[in-house]
Amino acid sequence: MIDWTPLILTFELALVTTLILLVVSIPLAYWLVHTKSRWKPVIETLVSMPLVLPPTVLGFYFLIAFSPANAFGNWLQTNFGLKLVFSFVGLVLASVIYSLPFMVHPIQAGLANLPSSLAEAAYVLGKSKTTTLFKVQLPNIKTSLLTGIVLAFAHTVGEFGVVLMIGGNIPGKTKVASIAIYDEVEALNYAAANRYSFILFSISFCILLFVYLINGGYLKKFWK
């Protein structure tokens, strides 16, 4: 029998992370597209760092920063009662940072490719920048939004190094599916590892296939 708890925890983590990323990434991507700040290259570099850094590097620095033994972690625990190390909240925060570029980049590309005439027409009609963003620009980049949502969700599902470093291996609390697979392999229980792996592989494949079908217009052709 398979223990479904790590899988359920994995998808809870991915869902919460994706929702937070959607809220954070839209204004961030909008700012990156339109800003003329000299800090733009620095911010873009920081956003993209998870793409090139080993997950264990990020996990290690998260572990150091959030540990109650250090000033920042102690301040969070003392003033807000937040214990981020070896907790689900810590997993969420680390996952948001680790999956940030997978949400920001598609939205940024979508906004950058929109014709400027769309926003200009809305401004002429007296619409604010916020209204223009949510009523005009975002509806015209639905594909980019969907791509960002799916990539961020799928990337979070597949996390290992970051969640292992910051969350550890606490059953029912921080033991996600990738950690469960590692445990089963360490125990030479390849049958259980295969079951977890196959479930993750199948779900990830279906999610990505759906995105490619949407982006390629295949579903519209099918519906017609």
Query: Which amino acid type is present at position 219?
Result: L
- Domains of the chain: which residue ranges? 5-223
Task: Kindly state the tokens that stand for 34.
Answer: 């339109």
Q: Is the pLDDT higher at 132 or at 222?
A: 132
Confidence of residue 220 (pLDDT cuts 50, 70, 90): low
Q: Which CATH number fits domain 5-223: 1.10.3720.10, 1.10.357.10, 1.10.10.10, 3.90.1150.10?
A: 1.10.3720.10
Confirm if 107 and 145 have CB atoms less than 8 A apart: yes
Taking 60 as the threshold, does the pLDDT of residue 91 lie above it?
Answer: yes
* pTM of the predicted structure, to 2 decimals: 0.89
Task: Give percent of the chain above pLDDT 70.
Answer: 96
> Which position has the token pair 């296939």?
209
CA distance 21 to 156: 11
Q: What spatial distance separates the first Cα and last Cα of the chain, rounded to whole Å?
A: 43
Mean pLDDT for all residues in the chain: 89
- Whether the CA torsion 194, 198, 201, 204 is positive or negative: it is negative
Cα 208 to Cα 33, 49, 157, 177, 219, distances in angstroms: 26, 23, 13, 19, 14
pLDDT digits (tens, 9 = 90+) for 7-27: 999 999 999 999 999 999 999
Residues 90, 96, 98, CA angle at the centre, nearest 5°?
Answer: 100
- Which pLDDT value is given to residue 218? 64
Confidence of residue 1 (pLDDT cuts 50, 70, 90): confident
- Which pLDDT value is given to residue 223? 45
